[in-house]
Amino acid sequence: MSKSLKNIPLRLFRDYLTYKGLKQIRSKGGHEVWSRKDLGRPIIIQSHIDPIPEFIIKNNLRTLGVTAEDFYEFCCK
């Protein structure tokens, strides 16, 4: 499956982070910080940019240890 990660709405990505067990721990200056106990580093998203740029989604999926296919299974149920 070679779908693009372009034009992913901010709301959909927030829903995915919640689905994966992350919680928003703070928000400051247009950035949201999401975390979970087993992650080595937090997920950072810019709350003032919608849709989210593709490179930010790719980096955050890599931090979560999931593939783009896992994300597509969530959003295309």
Read out DSSP for the chain? -----TTB-HHHHHHHHHHTT-EEEEEETTEEEEE-TT-SS-EEEETT-SSBPHHHHHHHHHHHT--HHHHHHHHT-
What CATH number corresponds to the domain at position 43? 3.30.920.30
Q: What is the pTM of this model?
A: 0.89
30 falls within a domain: yes
| pLDDT band, very low/low/confident/very high, at 1 (cuts 50, 70, 90) | very low
pLDDT digits (tens, 9 = 90+) for 2-60: 567 888 899 999 999 999 999 999 998 999 999 999 999 999 999 999 999 999 999 99
d(CA 12, CA 34): 14
pLDDT at res. 75: 83
40 falls within a domain: yes
Range of the domain at 59: 10-75
pLDDT at res. 77: 66
pLDDT digits (tens, 9 = 90+) for 31-47: 999 999 999 999 999 99
The total domain count for the chain is 1
